Amino acid sequence: MADNLQLNLPKRPRIGECLWCDRSDWKNILQQFALPDEDKIALAHFAEKGYLLIKNGIPRDIADAAISEYEALIEKNAILRDLSTKDGRLPNVHKYTTTGKQVFTRASEALRFQDILFGYRSSVYTSLYFKYGTQQSIHRDVPVFRTQPENFYFGVWYGLEDATVENGALRAIPGGHRVSSVDQFALAARHTNDADSIHPSQSPMWTIYQTAVAEQCKSQGLEEISIEMEKGDVLIWHPLLPHGGGKIISEGQTRQSIVYHVVPEGCPVYQMDVFFNRTKQDVPDLATWKYDLFEDRLFAAR
């Protein structure tokens, strides 16, 4: 890996921009892309449902090597072993293993779609390695991945093994990213008289917001589904898509996966202290962190 790079990235989304697929004229924009029909169908699915599934996106040898390298890492590193056992996840696996970066850089079809959906080159902000299904309740990621401009973030999930309802496949509410009736500032005003004291990563506002989103989705007749995936498949989700991890029915069965939280190169990420505070919306649109370059892709240095 190269030395940390401090970059000034002129090609990045600027205040006032939004994802093209969130614009009211997205169908016209999509028609103008010089892409085969099957790509346009996949992109239209993302715009309407909030996610895009890429079959066989990871080379099989990389998926196998990612599991072996993770196992070898936690075998020899007691601190990381403790961390991943206690939290059920290893944060920023890309920092510790080569395959933890290659799952991202070698899945070329997934990268191509991320770049098209952003309209900019995708880069890694954080990653998580999961050995088991997370059983996380349905949520939107956006309160802790509040980019500037807004919504230039995707969760990109890579299956290292099959994920089925037995071992805790992902769940999602298709179309839930379009539910716009939850006003996070009004919610914050109702639950605190001091928005400036909202903590970036630990706040009761998280659950309050996610509960309101789930209620709104339900009242609009949207339903939760299970997204079963095969080893090597990749799923890209919209920043506002409600999603989570299914219940593990076969106890002890693994569901190995890596999720990358991605943003355009140079795009900064803020957390709940910004997301819920109306007076902090004017934050800078250039990331202040350094990057590592690996196989032509940028990873935020941690």
Q: Interface residues with ligand AKG (CB under 6 A)?
A: 128, 130, 133-134, 136, 141, 155, 170, 243, 245, 257, 259
Select the binding partner of residue 105 from ligand AKG, Fe ion, none (C-beta < 5 to 8 A, by kind).
none
Select the binding partner of residue 134 from ligand AKG, Fe ion, none (C-beta < 5 to 8 A, by kind).
ligand AKG
Instruction: Point out the residue whose Cβ comes nearest to Fe ion.
Output: 141
Q: Which is nearer to ligand AKG, 19 or 259 (CB)?
A: 259
Q: Which is nearer to Fe ion, 102 or 210 (CB)?
A: 210
Tell which residue, 171, 182, 191, has the closest CA to residue 210: 182
Select the binding partner of residue 144 from ligand AKG, Fe ion, none (C-beta < 5 to 8 A, by kind).
none
Closest contact distance (angstroms) between CB of 10 and Fe ion is 31
Closest contact distance (angstroms) between CB of 29 and ligand AKG is 27
Select the binding partner of residue 50 from ligand AKG, Fe ion, none (C-beta < 5 to 8 A, by kind).
none
Structure-block tokens of residue 200: 């970036």
Determine how many CB atoms are found less than 10 A away from the CB of residue 85. 12
Tell me, what DSSP letter sits at residue 77?
A: -
Closest contact distance (angstroms) between CB of 128 and ligand AKG is 5
Q: Which is nearer to ligand AKG, 229 or 287 (CB)?
A: 229
Structure-block tokens of residue 278: 């109306």
Tell me, what DSSP letter sits at residue 4?
A: P
Q: Which is nearer to ligand AKG, 30 or 177 (CB)?
A: 177
In whole angstroms, what is the distance from residue 131 CA to residue 119 CA?
Answer: 32
Q: Which is nearer to ligand AKG, 130 or 299 (CB)?
A: 130
In single-letter form, the type of residue at position 11 comes to K
Closest contact distance (angstroms) between CB of 136 and Fe ion is 6
In whole angstroms, what is the distance from residue 178 CA to residue 47 CA?
Answer: 9
Q: Which is nearer to Fe ion, 141 or 150 (CB)?
A: 141
Alpha helix stretches (DSSP H) within the chain: 26-32, 37-49, 60-76, 78-87, 99-105, 108-118, 184-191, 205-219, 272-275
**Binding site residues, Fe ion, CB under 5 A:** 141
Angle at 110 between CA 109 and CA 113, to 5 degrees: 90
Closest contact distance (angstroms) between CB of 242 and Fe ion is 9
User: 266: left (phi > 0), else alpha (psi -120 to 50), else beta?
Assistant: left
Select the binding partner of residue 47 from Fe ion, ligand AKG, none (C-beta < 5 to 8 A, by kind).
none
Closest contact distance (angstroms) between CB of 145 and Fe ion is 9
Q: Which is nearer to ligand AKG, 13 or 155 (CB)?
A: 155
In whole angstroms, what is the distance from residue 135 CA to residue 247 CA?
Answer: 5
Select the binding partner of residue 77 from Fe ion, ligand AKG, none (C-beta < 5 to 8 A, by kind).
none
Instruction: Point out the residue whose Cβ comes nearest to ligand AKG.
Output: 245
In whole angstroms, what is the distance from residue 140 CA to residue 150 CA?
Answer: 14
Closest contact distance (angstroms) between CB of 245 and Fe ion is 9
> Is there a contact between 267 and 147 (Cβ–Cβ < 8 Å)?
yes
Select the binding partner of residue 98 from ligand AKG, Fe ion, none (C-beta < 5 to 8 A, by kind).
none
> Is there a contact between 286 and 268 (Cβ–Cβ < 8 Å)?
yes
